[in-house]
Amino acid sequence: MNRPRHETGTTSRAAKARGGAGRGGAVDRSAFDRDGRPGRSLSVSLPAVDAALRASGAGPDGLAAAVTALTGPVTDRHGQEAAVAAAWRRALAELDRPAVTGRPELADWHTKLPGTGLLKRLSGGDPATARQLATDTARVLSHLPADGLTLPVLAARTIGDSHALDHGRPLTTLVLSAVRALTAPAELLGGAESRRAAWASVGVALDELSSRVLVLNLPVSPSDPTGRILTAAREDGEPCLLTLRQLTRRPPALDLHGRTVRVCENPAILAAAADAYGPDCPPMVCVEGNPSVAARVLLTAIAAAGSPLAHHGDFDWGGARIAATVLRLPGAVPRRYDAPSYLAAVRRGHGTPPHHRHPAPTPWDPSLSSAIAEHALRVEEEHLLDQLLADLR
């Protein structure tokens, strides 16, 4: 006679429940005396089951050993979850360093990072990988802002790998999220130009040649290759582009003698000045929007040489942020970039709806920020071209 398949090779649960001896004799059924009618939950005392198994001889080593023998090792889920949670806390604790906690601008980023899930996504859900990412991020942030470094050099100095901050790497994504929180405008949300501007905001260029600055009639000594290029351009009153490589490998010797250097935001202003005045135009620097690392290096050198910087730009929130970057430099002053100048332009009928709606402070003239917010009009630098050119005369 064939046995039921579920009993083959072992003593069935039903036989044990009926008190079958199995290997070790009868099990005390009193441990299982519960109302087992359908629709009712059934609970038993685990210590009672353990005692019954030991007493019967069916499980002399107790319930835990019996379950392990039947199903394999038992996972302590609560203990495992606690261990994983502790591992994530250790990973996040790597960001509790002065490079992060010592900067109020990063407080919000630091607080919200666990809730965003960014670190978990970038680490593939592995706490050990996340901890290394957090450690490396803090290490990179401790070297920011930099002073005209390229991204490969920054990566080599901080991580020991010149490609560690290449685009698309998890570390790069995490560091950039902090960089944007640290200094970059809120409008920079994505794309290559956004990444370039974000790195530039902390003094880091993607490379030596793509970071550049536009100048006109910048007086220098013709004692080096860059100086000779600038001198030749100045003789003809022609604008000239300088790369970060030219400004850092063999910096030109500035020959300003305290002359004021005009700073503008848009290339059209510098081009019009070259057309109008040629070699007689005062020295000018155009930052072309958010200042590149090359622009920051050059403006810093001009300020360090003791020459004033007179800045003008677009009257909007982006222009205000750019102006704040330039006006932090020693001796830098606004040039027709204040509330009276803005209001005069609005009265003359200039102004269009702003591109960006994230306000920016204007500490050199707090009333300017209030005026832009009140009128909600953007006045581009080109609208004021005639006035700016008259100032150069």
pLDDT at 186: 43
pLDDT at 96: 96
Mean pLDDT of the region 17-23: 40
Classified by CATH at the fold level, domain 212-392 comes out as Dna Topoisomerase Vi A Subunit; Chain: A, domain 2 (3.40.1360)
For residue 185, pLDDT over 60 is answered with: no
For residue 359, pLDDT over 80 is answered with: yes
Mean pLDDT of the region 196-205: 91
Quote the mean pLDDT of the chain. Answer: 88
Contact 335/375 with Cβ under 8 angstroms? no
Reference 174, options 240, 217, 129; nearest CA is: 129
What is the Cα–Cα distance from 164 to 145, expressed in whole angstroms? 18
pLDDT at 11: 40
Over the chain, what HEC string results?
CCCCHHHCCCCCHHHHHCCCCCCCCCCCHHHHCCCCCCCCCCCCCHHHHHHHHHHHCCCCCCHHHHHHHHHCCCCCHHHHHHHHHHHHHHHHHCCCCHHHHCCHHHHHHHHHHHHHCHHHHHCCCCHHHHHHHHHHHHHHHCCCCCCCEEHHHHHHHHHCCCCCCCCCCHHHHHHHHHHHHHCCCCCCCCCHHHHHHHHHCCCEECCCCCCEEEEECCCECCCCHHHHHHHHHHHHCCCEEEEHHHHHHCCCCECCCCCCEEEECCHHHHHHHHHHHHHHCCCEEECCCCCCHHHHHHHHHHHHCCCCEEECCCECHHHHHHHHHHHCCCCEEECCCCHHHHHHHHHCCCCECCCCCCCCCCCCCHHHHHHHHHHCCEECHHHHHHHHHHHHC
Condensed to tens digits (0 to 9), the pLDDT of residues 219-270 reads: 999 999 999 999 999 999 999 999 999 999 989 999 999 999 999 999 999 9
Contact 36/2 with Cβ under 8 angstroms? no
Condensed to tens digits (0 to 9), the pLDDT of residues 304-328 reads: 999 999 999 999 999 999 999 999 9
Mean pLDDT of the region 209-213: 94
Q: Is 148 left (phi over 0), alpha (psi -120 to 50) or beta?
A: left
Contact 34/43 with Cβ under 8 angstroms? yes
Q: In what order do the strands lie in the sheet with 240-243?
A: 240-243, 212-216, 284-286, 261-264, 309-311, 332-334
What is the Cα–Cα distance from 232 to 268, expressed in whole angstroms? 22
pLDDT at 119: 96
Residue ranges per structural domain of the chain: 5-32+44-68, 81-205, 212-392
Lowest mean pLDDT segment, chosen from 73-77, 83-87, 111-115, 186-190? 186-190
Model confidence at 2, pLDDT cuts 50, 70, 90, reads very low
Mean pLDDT of the region 33-50: 73
Mean pLDDT of the region 137-165: 95
What pairs with residue 220 in β-bridges? 254
For residue 181, pLDDT over 70 is answered with: yes
Mean pLDDT of the region 145-159: 94
Model confidence at 35, pLDDT cuts 50, 70, 90, reads low
- CB 40: neighbour CB atoms within 10 A? 8
For residue 273, pLDDT over 70 is answered with: yes
